[in-house]
Amino acid sequence: MAVKKQTFEQAMGRLEEIVSKLERGDCDLDQSLKLFEEGAKLAAQCEEQLDRAEQKVNLLLADGSEVPFETKEG
């Protein structure tokens, strides 16, 4: 199944739908495999988009003032 390019938000939304369907377990094996395949492609697309965004941020901070992102944990 071909996955058309979507915005990050669209791809994540569809990925969440797929995960929900698979977690419910009410799909037959063939449908589950198709959903899994689509989900894997969407996950790869999201990862690629995040990598590009990270590269852009690094370019913007290339003057040496790169500061790591802080988490709420610490």
| pLDDT tens, residue by residue, 39-61 | 999 999 999 999 999 999 888 88
In the chain, what are the domain boundaries?
A: 8-58
Burial class (CB in 10 A: 0-12, 13-18, 19+), 6: middle
pTM confidence score:
0.73
Average pLDDT, the chain: 87
